[in-house]
Structure 1
Amino acid sequence: MTTDAILTLTQWLSPGFPVGAFAYSHGLETAIETGAITSVDDLETWVTDLISQGGGRSDIIILSSAYHADPHAVHQVDETARAFAASAERLLETEQQGAAFCRTVDAVWGTELGACTYPVAVGRAACAQAIPLELTAQMYLHAFAANLISAAVRLVPLGQTEGQALLAKLAPLIRATAKTAVSDQLNDLHSHCFAADIAAMQHEVQYSKVFRT
């Protein structure tokens, strides 16, 4: 079961799964455009904060709440996830990735997820397939970090080796954050990453951009 769970999560959270994750930068494009991130050290600080105190941790709390929720109460978790989005593009990011994830999982695995925000969709799918929650949280956070680093490799630009070294360095933080965040409740949602939120808002009116968010 553990091997099956790992393989399923690897498929769901891989760059090849059709959620279009490569098109979203979570505001990172603006942070690079304005000079807030110019090196791998800057990127490490930015992504570390997002994982431990920002969108990464918040997504795990939402994912965990959706995993445990009564099927009739999932919509309440989903509504909270939408309300917690700090900008129009953050909402777009979670809605569109979630809808694409749900369509594919419903078609391939025979679930009935409908249309949910991304962390809610992953949490419900993992519950439906009896995949361990903490493993799901770790791999979700890893994919979250990997996507941000991939965007930075293209935009800063950084070397591929630098990007992979940073992702490996973040592994202990990913494990620790996943372990604690799965025990939190929706009432524990918070974010201290105001610069990232502002960057996401500024991206909406950025003149030239490659990413959707």
Structure 2
Amino acid sequence: MHTDAQVITLSQWLSPGYPVGAFAYSHGLEALVETGAVTDADSLQDWLIDVLRYGAGLSDALFLLAAYHADAQDVGGVDALCRAFAPSKERLQETDLQGAAFCVVTAAVWAQQIAGLTYPVAVGRAASLEGLPPALTTRLYLQAFASNLVAAAQRLLPIGQTEGQRLIHGLARLVSEITDQALNGSLDDLSGTAFLADIASMKHETQYSRIFRT
């Protein structure tokens, strides 16, 4: 059972106001909009589902939980694998810089010994140090991930606030399913088959006009 204090802590860590710079990253979505692969709410929903189920959604959940359960001396190995699993320079930059920012703020406010970790590993390690529930941590992490991508899409596509919230609401069941899958899995279950999303993150590196870092 989780407590109100635990929910409040996770809500703070994973809110848009936590200074990790998540607003600057589109996870390759900007390149897909540029090529016309994602054009509206329906195609955005399809992309989000694939990224969550077959891409960084599931893999980040597995890394988060591995870091949560790892001993202090083993967290570095989980982090190294997370870095190696990034399919492109920009995706590595995305998880590296957000994780570093998360570590700086969380170490300062919660007096944790945490630094220089990729984003899901940092969240998992911090949640473990604070004794936060792993299932709730993972669900809220994935919801925040999806919410940030929807927010990025609203800057790139004619998608309004109501439609954006409808999309996030519609992903709730999938977020729970991925969380349960990750809770019952391990790093041996790592896979990444969202190939077009990975290629989009590579193409974004050389895109001429862009507003996002990835």
Shared fold (TM-score, shorter chain, > 0.5): yes
SS at match of 2:193: coil
In structure 1, the partner of 2:5 is: 4
Whether 1:180 and 2:181 are equivalent positions in the alignment is yes
Whether 1:171 and 2:172 are equivalent positions in the alignment is yes
Where does 1:121-160 land on structure 2 (aligned, <5 Å)? 121-160=122-161
| Partner deviation per Cα, 1:51-98 (whole Å, 9 max, x = no partner) | 111101100000000000011011000000000000000000000000
The residue type paired with residue 170 of structure 1 is L
The residue type paired with residue 7 of structure 2 is I
The residue type paired with residue 180 of structure 2 is K
| Partner deviation per Cα, 1:19-76 (whole Å, 9 max, x = no partner) | 0000000000001111000110000000011111110110000000000001101100
State the identity %.
54
Q: Distance in 1 between matches of 2:51 and 2:58?
A: 7
The residue type paired with residue 77 of structure 2 is Q
Q: Distance in 1 between matches of 2:138 and 2:158?
A: 29
In structure 2, the partner of 1:81 is: 82
- Structure 2 gaps of 5+ residues are none
Q: Distance in 2 between matches of 1:76 and 1:15?
A: 29
Deviation of 1:103 after TM superposition, in Å, equals 0.3
The residue type paired with residue 103 of structure 2 is C
- Structure 1 gaps of 5+ residues are none
Q: Using structure 1 for the length normalisation, give the TM-score.
A: 0.98
Q: Distance in 1 between matches of 2:180 and 2:106?
A: 25
Q: Distance in 1 between matches of 2:203 and 2:71?
A: 37
Q: Distance in 1 between matches of 2:47 and 2:84?
A: 23
In structure 2, the partner of 1:103 is: 104
| Partner deviation per Cα, 1:83-122 (whole Å, 9 max, x = no partner) | 0000000000000000000000000000011110000000
SS at match of 2:213: coil
The residue type paired with residue 93 of structure 2 is L
SS at match of 1:150: helix
Q: 144-153 or 177-186, which moves further after superposition?
A: 177-186
Q: 162-171 or 174-183, which moves further after superposition?
A: 174-183
Misfit runs of 4+, over 3 Å: none
Deviation of 1:157 after TM superposition, in Å, equals 2.4
Deviation of 1:183 after TM superposition, in Å, equals 2.3
